[in-house]
Amino acid sequence: MNKNLILTVKKTREKIILGFIISVIFVSFVVYIFFNRGIASEIDGMVYIPEGEFKMGSKGKLEHGDDGGDGRIGLEVGVDEIPLHIVMVKGFYIDRYEVINAQYKKFLDATGREPPVDSVAPDAPYNWRNGSYPTGEDNHPVVNVTWYDAEAYCKWADKRLPTEAEWEKSCRGGDGRRWSFGNSFITSFVNTHELELKWSQAVGSFPEDRSSYGVYDMSGNAMEWTASWYNPYPTSTLKRETFGEQNRVIRGGAWLTSYLTARCTSRNFAVPEKKHRTMGFRCAKDAN
């Protein structure tokens, strides 16, 4: 066979093989991107909540019969939780646990901000003393913080407070749960008034109080500030003097509140200056 022809055939074969390898790599890359779209890199101590729509709010039950509602309005379902509506949320990160005393102390030491003290009961044993929290409560959620304190901490940590919608989606998970752990309340699963522990516990002490996304203590332990103003839901005709840019939304249950407050859809509110021994927070962060 002609030497030039052999050389040409050899080069052609090499090009075909190289083209095949490049095609395989390209296709593999496209497939990887397709199946992993919406998946973000991990951030230590935070959980990624994927972009997408979810059902926010509650549907009241009919007075007679069962139409699949969540409870009687005004009794088991708050009038401000109505109506059930679809909300689109961009992908974001949220703290796996509530911000704890040990973390908050680092913030105070770095900024010189005033430590948490219950203004109603300044001598109570659960208050901070000499710039530190009560002994043995390193991993308890920090409480008695105002909305401004919570916002300042999150900014210091290069994060932010979650919106009300982000918080609810993180709690309800991908299957729209009533409580972080499911649709039926189980007393032993969560630190609420029903368990009668009479104080917060170290975060993560109740492994069942975990949303399907892997976020802990959303139904109990400490209530949590959000970034959102307290306003009616879209299409709601409810009117309240407390609506508007005067109160911030608080979400989640606490050791002192009932199982109904512990529902993922339950809404509470307070003026940003408010402090209480049941109120803490966790932070969020944009995915991009």
Q: Are 253 and 261 in contact (CB under 8 A)?
A: yes
Residue type, 30: V
Q: What pLDDT is stored for residue 272 in this prediction?
A: 98
Collect the ranges in the chain with pLDDT lower than 50. 5, 7, 9, 24, 27-39, 63-65
For residue range 136-158, list pLDDT tens digits in order.
Answer: 999 999 999 999 999 999 999 99
Q: Are 54 and 91 in contact (CB under 8 A)?
A: no
Q: What pLDDT is stored for residue 149 in this prediction?
A: 98
Q: What pLDDT is stored for residue 64 in this prediction?
A: 44
Q: What pLDDT is stored for residue 34 in this prediction?
A: 38
> What CA–CA distance (Å, rounded) separates 91 from 85?
19
Q: Which residue has the tokens 């009241």?
A: 60
Report helix, strand or coil for 11. helix
Q: What pLDDT is stored for residue 61 in this prediction?
A: 75
For residue range 239-259, list pLDDT tens digits in order.
Answer: 999 999 999 999 999 999 999
Q: What pLDDT is stored for residue 215 in this prediction?
A: 98
The H or E element containing residue 279 is strand 279-280
Q: Look up residue 106 and give its two tokens.
A: 């680092």
Q: What pLDDT is stored for residue 13 in this prediction?
A: 62
